[in-house]
Structure 1
Amino acid sequence: MRQTCDIVLVGIAGYGEVYLQALEEKGYLNWVQGVVDIQPKRSTYYSKLKALRIPCYPSLEEFYQHTSADLAIISSPIHLHAQQSIIAMENGSHVLCEKPIAGSLKEANQMRESRDKTGRFLAVGFNWSFSTPVQQIKKDIQEGRFGKPLRGKSIALWPRNKQYFERSNWAGKRLGPNGEAIYDSIANNAASHFLHHLLYILGNTTEQSAKIKNLEVELYKANPIETFDTCALRANTEQSVELVYLVSHAVESTIGPNVTLECENATITYEVGGDMQAAFKDGTTKNYGDPEAAHSQKLDVCIQAVLNEETSIPCSIEAAYSQLLSIEYIHRSISTVPYFPASMIKQDAHTQQTYVLQLEENFLSCYKAYKLPSEMNVSWAQPPTTIPIPENSYPFD
């Protein structure tokens, strides 16, 4: 077994700082051979990296011209994930790429081809999928402990202010300056975890998620962005499991993530701040723990895989593919996102937060009933767009 893992981190501001903090807490900062960022001074770690004499490069190509890394951590904008992951793998590095996999299915498949050609692993940073509670639940589902899965739901209402939507030149964008797919939205960024989670725990193997047969989608926005800040959808899987997903940034109060999966013999629930639990129809329960408790477990898993020279990763491209497929088909099918009625959109001058009146109550009612807003006769709701997913949409079958 190896003793050290040489690391390059791409993107050291924003979420990259979460990785730097985790590496520092674990005593691994001295493993970092270099960082990549075109504006490194934005990071609060910049002075510390300089003091440790960790070099900063303007591009990943330049990093590899000077040295190498066992593991590349990609924490850059969505539309750079594919290019940078491929560069890393072709230069001999394993990859931990932040979610989502990439901007498009085409890019994700290019990444998969590079992974298979180079023999490197490529992990996708959906936090919960690397956690012990989720792996244990997925195993119990596969072994039939709960009976047949019937339906599931998740809700995450996370306020975001004006600064969030202006944090970068790609925030809330459909496409980049050269036409590259970005599709930055609540469903493809902050709350993407909870659509992915429902699909992931229903996958037939550790490395796969459930495959989607069709989607019913309602999109809305209160903020002036190209994509959407509010999403309500129902995904129907090939195993006929109905999944309802309700998320919004246009709210006053933080609620969730809360998740429920109903099966024939048990119901599995999670409420933020608690544990994932299964309540069986015979009155017994099983506690799995809180997947949020080990937020950096994805980093631990990847480092251990490098040290042990393993290439099997629980959340790789195949596992994360259904979430990305949902996003791409949503944007292929829905070109214009309606605003909420102007009379319902409010601004808080102090917090710079834009929110919609009674949206929390509306979505909580939907969550309780496994319904979309249009099915609850909500006044502002519009009929959902039904999106069939072609049978040949999963190229790795």
Structure 2
Amino acid sequence: MTGPRVAVAGVHGHGASHVRNVARLAAAGRAELVGVADPRPTEGVRAFDSLEALLAATDVDVVIISTPIQTHVPLAELAMRAGADVLLEKPPTASLAEFEALSAVVAETGRACQVGFQAQASEATLKLADLVAAGQLGEIRGISAVGKWVRTAKYFQRARWAGKRRLDGVDVVDGAVTNPLAHATAAALLLDRSTGVDDVRSVETELYRANPIESDDTSTVRIVTARGTTILIAVTLCAEEHLEPAVIVHGTEGDAVLEYASDRIGETKYGRADLLENLLAHRADPAVPLYVPLAATGGFTRVVEAVRVAEPPREIPDELIRWEGEGPERRPIVLDVEGWIDRASDELALFSELGAPWTKPSQRES
């Protein structure tokens, strides 16, 4: 028994982990890796330079798409119209219009589209969502998500689309909020059970950058959900050191901290389901629900849309940045950004409301 026939589009970078995961399932007789699609040469597996060529050459049951953001929608549509189900990396789309278009393809074709928000399949995330819904933290004052990450110049040089808002006239929206730390926003929305496109009432954005890029690398975003919950996102890729991201639920009976990358609530570590295994189980029995169907990323996509239409990120003044490293390892550190992120999280406030120094007009702007 070989199991469903699986192909992977985009196998360099994060896509390599998908190839390894399919190989793991193949070794257990639960799937078959029938090919990969990538314009760059790939060894050790049947390879095609495009997904179109792969689908024309072989039958495929599931396509995993781990390609540049701006290619997600056309490739997912191509796969679904060819009769395949899809595991689509996050962010699923670069705009609300693209989300609506892809949702229409899902409805028309009847294919499954699972989105790669792994933290949504974490027992820790789902456990905390249940605790919140059951009122065990009391009345919820708000939810905050914090990310203090380190990214060097090499990260933004890895591909033409990295760090871009648009490329060749097409939306990319590759910023700290929408891509590397997207899981923080998605998890916060799940904890409030506000994952749908109509579950978000408003989004305020404050986008800044220390790197010489188009997109944001240091930002606060405030979401108000339809149920009235305030969700405050405070993130940077310019921290002193790379720390575990967290989502904090602020309740009248206490706070709960979810470290979604390691599946922890406080000191307790939980397990995590595999999104591809879940998709295969859903294919075998549609009564098995997907952990992250496309529809459950609508709330997140409203945040992507707000970032997309926002003014370009403001440049953080040189005097507020310390640079370290050389060449590909060069990186900016925004001075005391960790303290401002902690304050934003605690007070559910935007950087400008707290008076963070980079939010004040510089001499060049005044």
**TM-score, normalized by length of structure 2?**
0.89
Q: 2:301 aligns with which of 321, 324, 341?
A: 324
In 1: Cα distance, 2:184 partner to 2:284 partner: 30
Question: Partner of 2:104 in structure 1?
Answer: 113
2:19 matches 1:20: yes
Q: Residue 366 of structure 1: CA displacement?
A: 2.6
Contact 1:72 1:95 in 2 (8 A): yes
2:353 matches 1:365: no
Contact 2:323 2:331 in 1 (8 A): yes
Residues 235-314 of structure 1 mapped to structure 2, 5 A cutoff: 235-265=223-253, 267-271=255-259, 273=262, 275-276=264-265, 289-290=269-270, 294=272, 297-309=274-286, 312-314=289-291
Contact 1:121 1:312 in 2 (8 A): no
Structure 2 residue identity aligned to 1:130: A
Greater CA drift, 352-361 or 70-79: 352-361
In 2: Cα distance, 1:251 partner to 1:268 partner: 23
Greater CA drift, 310-319 or 351-360: 310-319
Question: Partner of 2:219 in structure 1?
Answer: 231
Q: 2:317 aligns with which of 305, 322, 341?
A: 341
SS at match of 2:167: coil
Structure 2 residue identity aligned to 1:39: R
Question: Partner of 1:282 in structure 2?
Answer: none
In 1: Cα distance, 2:137 partner to 2:323 partner: 45
2:89 matches 1:127: no
Question: Partner of 2:364 in structure 1?
Answer: none
Contact 1:221 1:229 in 2 (8 A): yes
In 2: Cα distance, 1:115 partner to 1:378 partner: 43
Q: Residue 230 of structure 1: CA displacement?
A: 1.0
Q: Residue 144 of structure 1: CA displacement?
A: 4.8
Task: For residues 55-114 of structure 1, give each alpha carbon's deviation from its aligned partner in whole angstroms, at most 9, with x where no partner exists.
Answer: 211121111211121111000000110001111111111111000111221221121111
In 2: Cα distance, 1:288 partner to 1:368 partner: 23
SS at match of 2:154: helix
Q: Residue 175 of structure 1: CA displacement?
A: 1.3
In 2: Cα distance, 1:20 partner to 1:250 partner: 31
SS at match of 1:110: helix
Contact 1:203 1:209 in 2 (8 A): no
Alignment gaps of 5+ in structure 2? 362-366
In 1: Cα distance, 2:80 partner to 2:102 partner: 9
Alignment root-mean-square deviation, CA? 2.4
Q: Residue 132 of structure 1: CA displacement?
A: 2.5
2:353 matches 1:379: no
SS at match of 1:40: coil
Q: Residue 3 of structure 1: CA displacement?
A: 6.4
Structure 1 residue identity aligned to 2:34: Q
Question: Partner of 1:184 in structure 2?
Answer: 174
Structure 2 residue identity aligned to 1:149: I
Task: For residues 153-201 of structure 1, give each alpha carbon's deviation from its aligned partner in whole angstroms, at most 9, with x where no partner exists.
Answer: 0101111000101110001111121x22111111111100101111122
Q: Residue 364 of structure 1: CA displacement?
A: 2.3
Question: Partner of 1:198 in structure 2?
Answer: 188
2:100 matches 1:100: no
SS at match of 1:306: helix
Contact 2:94 2:304 in 1 (8 A): no
In 2: Cα distance, 1:209 partner to 1:141 partner: 21
SS at match of 1:255: coil
Contact 1:202 1:210 in 2 (8 A): no
Question: Partner of 1:387 in structure 2?
Answer: none
SS at match of 2:54: helix
Question: Partner of 1:284 in structure 2?
Answer: none
% of aligned pairs identical? 24
Q: 1:164 aligns with which of 136, 152, 155?
A: 155
Structure 2 residue identity aligned to 1:333: A
In 2: Cα distance, 1:36 partner to 1:267 partner: 45
In 2: Cα distance, 1:234 partner to 1:101 partner: 21
Task: For residues 273-301 of structure 1, give each alpha carbon's deviation from its aligned partner in whole angstroms, at most 9, with x where no partner exists.
Answer: 57225xxxxxxxxx8744xx53x721221
Structure 1 residue identity aligned to 2:182: S
Question: Partner of 2:34 in structure 1?
Answer: 33
Contact 1:213 1:237 in 2 (8 A): yes
Q: Residue 308 of structure 1: CA displacement?
A: 3.1
Q: Residue 150 of structure 1: CA displacement?
A: 3.1
Contact 2:173 2:307 in 1 (8 A): no
Change in 2 beyond 3 A, CA 1:264/1:5: farther
In 2: Cα distance, 1:132 partner to 1:56 partner: 35
Give the number of aligned pairs. 356
Alignment gaps of 5+ in structure 1? 50-54, 278-286, 384-397
Structure 2 residue identity aligned to 1:107: E
In 1: Cα distance, 2:290 partner to 2:49 partner: 29
Change in 2 beyond 3 A, CA 1:358/1:138: closer
Structure 2 residue identity aligned to 1:219: L
